[in-house]
Homo-oligomer: A and B are copies of this chain.
Amino acid sequence: MARRKPKRIAESTQSWSVLRHPFEPQRIFSEDRVEAIHLAALEVLETLGVKILLPEAVEIFSQNGAKVVEDMVYLDADMVEAAIASAPVSFVLRAPNPARNVPVAPGQLIFTPGGGCPNVTDRIRGRRPGDLSTYTDAVKLMQSFNVIHKLSPAPEPQDIPVHLRHYAMMQTQLGYGDKAITVYGRGRQQVTECFELMQTALGLSDAEFASAPYCSTVINTNSPRMLDRPMAQALIDFGRAGQMCIVTPFCLAGAMAPITVAGALTLQHAEALAAITLNQLTAPGAPVMYGGFGSNVDMKSGAPAFGTPEHIQMSIGSGQLARHIGLPWRSAAGAASNTNDMQATHETVMSLWGCLQANATMVIHSAGWLEGGLTFGFEKFIQDIEALQSIAHLCKPVASDTSAIGLDAIAQVAPGGHFFATDQTMAQYSTAFLPSLNADLSNFGTWSKNGALTAEERATKKWQQVIADFVPPAGAEGRLANIANMVAEFTQAGGAPILD
């Protein structure tokens, strides 16, 4: 395949960078109240219990001494604290390209794009169910911007039957990307096959694959206090294979969780700890991330809201709980808006800053997420990248040495003059500032003369250009070829069912 440099994109994307939070984490609770919430969550697990729909998981809890009554499991504090203690504080999520490996540890900042969206939308083709073609386009976008650290499973390629879809999603991620890969926990056979595809694509020995996480999955609890079959099985299977679980109760205050932030966080914490405990009982030391995705609902309609004060408070409170137990953790940005408007950007940027205040290790849904996750938006993706690149830029130290203070430059310019021609400016003008990706900074007259394009319209041109310029990363073609036969065999054998 001819390789050429995607020149036009190179102008507006940042170089790959592992990020660390530039800001100190903030607090909404005093330390004693964080401890109180932690203890309340332990009490929920011990006295109210969690409903576990997978008998194999119930059996694991039971064998390890948990009290079990049919499908209800009651965990004592010692078992939970032991699981917290065995979960690793720090590990590396491997990518097909080792240069894209991502350290997972408190203080790191990892951006992942919108996930889990059944639909897709853009200004050219409209809103429609996701398909393989647009999933491929989305992966090209995720791969093209270095501020995105990991690929996401969205939009869902609904034109591929569910028993074969995981092959297509692996092929798409491996064939068009070289960043860390996501596998859905939709049943043992699918998960196991994805592990085999991953190992084969990368040419890893069994020992190599077992030694580090080469893919991750998100574990959603069924709030309140329930863990369904595919999620429980994934906690077991990913754990045994040494692959990464990202535990995520989705606690909407006032709906599937208490209406108070403290109450919703108590429930979220209990559910996250139950899932981590199952994972660690199965495989002590398996890579697992604590987390939550908490917001509130509109109490008039029951609709989920994002970017609200409660969303931000839930993020900050989650961060306090994560630091209390000492684990890396995920939070999420997100938008409820149905289109690419001021609301959409308000919601995502507000919730993004919530994640920053919270020092979330991984910010999921950080680009392209509309309609509370029902739709992956291409224009929204581009606009959100502008925010993420700005934050990534803020992660760099600000020069403040004598040369940066630059009294010489100040002395060079007479009162009322300008700095365009100082030696300092001339030396730095091409690198000083982060170039904008989607902003139009021209004045009203010029902007009008050029067609008065909105940010949404400009974003269309941008994603089209990114996709037109796209070249698969080095090695992707080979990795895809490595699994061609295996995918054919799996397909011929009838694919793999999903576990309900």
Q: Is residue A211 within 8 Å, beta carbon to beta carbon, of the partner chain?
A: no
Q: Is residue A441 within 8 Å, beta carbon to beta carbon, of the partner chain?
A: yes
Q: Is residue A248 within 8 Å, beta carbon to beta carbon, of the partner chain?
A: no
Chain B's closest residue to A44 (CB) is B410
Q: Report the Cα distance A442→B415, complex, angstroms.
A: 55
Residues of B within 8 A of A444 (CB): 127, 338, 371, 374-375
Instruction: Give the copy number.
Output: 2
Chain B's closest residue to A420 (CB) is B255
Q: Is residue A409 within 8 Å, beta carbon to beta carbon, of the partner chain?
A: yes
Q: Is residue A460 within 8 Å, beta carbon to beta carbon, of the partner chain?
A: no
In this complex, the interface size class of chain A, counting residues with CB under 8 Å from chain B, is 35 or more
User: Are B343 and A260 in touch, CB under 8 angstroms?
Assistant: no
Instruction: State which of B26, B416, B443, B455 has its C-beta within 8 Å of the C-beta of A342.
Output: B455
Q: Indicate with 1 or 0, residue by residue over A432-460, a CB within 8 angstroms of chain B CB atoms.
A: 11101011111110011000101110010
Q: Report the Cα distance A440→B394, complex, angstroms.
A: 31
Shortest beta-carbon distance from A439 to chain B in Å:
5
Q: Is residue A417 within 8 Å, beta carbon to beta carbon, of the partner chain?
A: yes
User: Are B345 and A349 in touch, CB under 8 angstroms?
Assistant: yes
User: Are B420 and A254 in touch, CB under 8 angstroms?
Assistant: yes
Which one of A57-65, A190-198, A233-241, A309-317 is at the interface? Answer: A309-317
Residues of B within 8 A of A72 (CB): 415
Residues of B within 8 A of A337 (CB): 439-440, 455
Q: Report the Cα distance A346→B3, complex, angstroms.
A: 35
Chain B's closest residue to A386 (CB) is B346
Q: Is residue A180 within 8 Å, beta carbon to beta carbon, of the partner chain?
A: no
Asked, given contacts A259-B425, A390-B308, A405-B37, whether A299 binds B418 with beta carbons under 8 Å apart, the answer is: no
User: Are B387 and A346 in touch, CB under 8 angstroms?
Assistant: yes
Counting from the closest, the 7 A-B pairs by CB-CB distance are A51-B415, A309-B393, A343-B455, A342-B455, A33-B400, A263-B406, A303-B441
Question: Which A residues contact B (CB, under 8 angstroms)?
Answer: 22-24, 26, 28-30, 33, 36-37, 40, 43-44, 48, 50-51, 72, 127, 222, 224-226, 253-263, 266-267, 270, 296, 298-299, 301-305, 307-310, 312-313, 317, 336-347, 349-350, 353, 357, 371, 374-375, 380, 383, 386-387, 390-391, 393-394, 398-402, 404-407, 409-411, 413-420, 422, 424-425, 428-430, 432-434, 436, 438-444, 447-448, 452, 454-456, 459
